[in-house]
Amino acid sequence: MLDDLIEESRSRRDVFKALGATALAGALLGSAGFSPAMAQELKPAGKPMKAAFSNAGLQATWCAQGKQTAEAWGKLMNVEITWFDGELAAPKQRAAIDNMATQKWDFVAIQTFGIGTLNDPVKKMIDAGTPVIAMDTMMAPEGQLALHTFIAPDNVFMGSVVTNELMKKIGGKGNVVMTQGALGHTGAQGRAKGFKEVVANFPDVTVVDEQPADWDVTKVARIWESLLTKYPDIAGAFFHNDDMALAAHNVMKAKGREGIFIGGVDAMPPAVNAVLDGTMVATVRNPSCRIHGWAVAAGVAAVQGGEKTGPGGIPNYIWADGPVITQETAPGHLWLQKNFLI
């Protein structure tokens, strides 16, 4: 379907006239043929829309993949994207968004590092009439900001399914660790909740550490150097993202402690391959490509299609599902990520 659209029209405006903004977004989301190469083929006429994006920090592979996805989808939909890196620090992201708010944008999409940290500059942009889309984690407590929409996975589900796999591997007993992300990040809060709900069903499991590492692999290494010295008998560990899980595995390997079962969240390619080779028990997909790609589509629908928030328009919340990655499904997910589809 998308190939036909490209052949029939080189103009974004013509496509919207033919299908409507929402239908175009649906065509992009549903096409199994989307690829970075296709983005180069579609060169729509007219002045490009200008959008500003920010996520928690491009040091994280999930965030870096999100940037690549948004830029690829932007090329398809004639959106020029400017990136404001959060640098894995709430004060640095706040400074970046303060800067963003001094400029004019057709739409904005942000994954905040910490809930409530960006309210003032975001409200300034909303008051100026700019559609603002929240990605992955809540930007502010409900009702505080008139966001265009919020696109996110079910973080409680993701935390629980990976923890369930860990419990199977350790036989439901032993010392376990949860290495958390940033405590002000609602995604991390949901993953912790899912972990705790599962562990509560296993009375022979003891959680010996829950320190946050703020998604920072350097902090993870320091934490795990200490944990492996302090606890000679750790059975398993759940990490709020795969970058942290693999960083901890490197420390375990260096100390000859590779018998610890580990699981994470995000299902980035290194982690998917780690599931394939048995390094990780499980990961679950936090669909960076869907979240960032859909944010582009939602912004275009708002600007070009005039789509409003609420009944008959875009809903306040869009659930971006995240499948569990197994050795059987891993190859397909690697292909989908390569083409920015999941």
Structural domain total, the chain: 2
Q: Could you tell me if 161 and 266 lie in one domain?
A: yes
For residue 336, the surrounding DSSP H or E stretch is: helix 330-338
Q: Could you tell me if 252 and 325 lie in one domain?
A: no
Q: How far apart are CA 36 and CA 57, in angstroms?
A: 23
Q: Could you tell me if 13 and 58 lie in one domain?
A: yes
Q: What CATH number has the domain bearing residue 315? A: 3.40.50.2300
Q: Could you tell me if 72 and 133 lie in one domain?
A: yes
Mean per-residue pLDDT of the chain: 88
Which pLDDT score is estimated for 46?
79
Q: Could you tell me if 279 and 306 lie in one domain?
A: no
Q: Could you tell me if 107 and 227 lie in one domain?
A: no
Average pLDDT for 230-236: 97
Q: Given the structure tokens 């970046």, which residue do they identify?
A: 96
- Residue 154: closest CA among 333, 328, 284: 284
DSSP structure string for 214-246:
TT-HHHHHHHHHHHHHH-S-EEEEEESSHHHHH
Q: Could you tell me if 291 and 204 lie in one domain?
A: no
Q: Could you tell me if 276 and 198 lie in one domain?
A: yes
Q: Could you tell me if 220 and 304 lie in one domain?
A: no
Domain span holding position 298: 2-153+287-338
The 3-state secondary structure of 83-143 reads: ECCCCCCHHHHHHHHHHHCCCCCCEEEECCCCCCCCHHHHHHHHHCCCCEEEECCCCCCCC
Q: What is the pTM of this model?
A: 0.84
Q: Could you tell me if 310 and 292 lie in one domain?
A: yes
Coil vs helix vs strand at 12: helix
Q: Could you tell me if 319 and 305 lie in one domain?
A: yes
Strands of the chain, DSSP E: 49-54, 79-83, 107-110, 132-135, 149-152, 174-179, 205-209, 234-239, 261-263, 283-284, 317-319, 324-325
pLDDT in tens, 171-228: 999 999 999 999 999 999 999 999 999 999 999 999 999 999 999 999 999 999 999 9
φ, ψ (nearest 5 deg) of residue 146: -85, 70
Tell me if 93 sits within 8 A of 313, measured CB to CB.
no
Of 20-29, 166-175, 203-212, 326-335, the range with the lowest mean pLDDT is 20-29
- Residue 151: closest CA among 297, 307, 300: 297
DSSP state of 255: T
Q: Could you tell me if 86 and 214 lie in one domain?
A: no
Q: How far apart are CA 316 and CA 298, in angstroms?
A: 11
Answer whether residue 133 shows pLDDT above 50: yes
